[in-house]
């Protein structure tokens, strides 16, 4: 599907799971979207590649420069470190919540559903996540499912890097559909 003219933010900081940023970035660009890596500060952020530090990725915009109004979707890579650092950053949580409130696509993989919990987005939704945070997701009021990709009114979640192809395909499909004006509050 063609995403020409669509803009997607990937919100991350140091410690993102390498594949969970790079694979969606590549797939969404291949589909024609403009993809910005948005982070806390200028420069580069460093990934975590399975068992050790990975490659740096260039930051395109800081949270101070980015506006939810400029994007059609947000992608939240996991890893343990990245979402844990972001969930204590008010600007990061506001950016995610603003995109959600505008009824745009929100996609989170692995440990990134922690960010959906922190923003209140998880409550009342069907979701999946990395298995170690299943209890966190359920305790936040979401209905956890063990599936490679779960969608609930354009809230897309996946479990781990093994699910990235299905995750990326669903992001493309949901962004192509556009805003979900019928999205209900949980």
Pair 151, 169: CB distance under 8 Å: no
What mean pLDDT is predicted for residues 14-33?
A: 98
pLDDT in tens, 39-86: 999 999 999 998 999 999 999 999 999 999 999 999 999 999 999 999
Please tell me the predicted confidence (pLDDT) of residue 46: 98
How high is the pLDDT of residue 50? 87
By annotation, the residues acting in catalysis are 110-111
pLDDT at 182: 59
pLDDT in tens, 112-153: 999 999 999 999 999 999 999 999 999 999 999 999 999 999
Q: What is the pLDDT of residues 168-177, one digit of tens each?
A: 999 999 999 8
What is the DSSP track for 112-153?
THHHHHHTT-STT-EE---GGGHHHHHHTT-EE--SS-EEET
| Long-range contacts of residues 87-92, Cβ cutoff 8 Å, at least 24 apart | 87/114, 87/115, 87/117, 87/118, 89/40, 89/63, 91/40, 91/63, 91/64, 92/11, 92/40, 92/63
* pLDDT greater than 70 at residue 180: no
Number of C-beta neighbours around residue 110 at 10 A:
30
Q: Report the pLDDT averaged over residues 11-31.
A: 98
pLDDT at 98 (0 to 100): 98
Handedness of CA 59, 6, 137, 130 (dihedral sign): negative
Contacts of 125 (CB under 8 A, 6+ apart): 116, 142, 143, 152, 153, 155, 186
CB 96 within 8 A of CB 120: no
Q: What is the mean pLDDT of residues 149-171?
A: 97
Higher pLDDT, 153 or 1: 153
């Amino acid at each position: 599907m063609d995403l020409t003219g669509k803009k997607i933010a990937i919100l991350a900081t140091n410690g993102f799971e390498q594949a969970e940023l790079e694979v969606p970035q590549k797939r969404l660009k291949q589909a024609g979207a403009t993809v910005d890596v948005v982070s806390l500060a200028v420069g580069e952020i460093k990934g975590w590649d399975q068992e050790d530090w990975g490659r740096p990725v260039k930051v395109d915009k800081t949270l101070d420069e980015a506006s939810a109004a400029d994007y059609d979707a947000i992608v939240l890579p996991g890893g343990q470190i990245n979402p844990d650092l972001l969930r204590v950053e008010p600007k990061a949580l506001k950016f995610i919540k603003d995109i959600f409130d505008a009824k745009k696509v929100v996609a989170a993989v692995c440990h990134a559903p922690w960010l959906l919990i922190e923003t209140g987005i998880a409550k009342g939704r069907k979701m999946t996540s990395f298995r170690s945070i299943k209890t966190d997701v359920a305790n936040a009021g979401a209905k956890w499912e063990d599936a490679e990709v779960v969608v609930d009114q354009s809230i897309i979640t996946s479990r781990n890097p093994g699910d990235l192809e299905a995750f990326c395909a669903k992001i493309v499909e949901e962004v192509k559909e556009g805003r979900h004006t019928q999205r209900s509050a949980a």
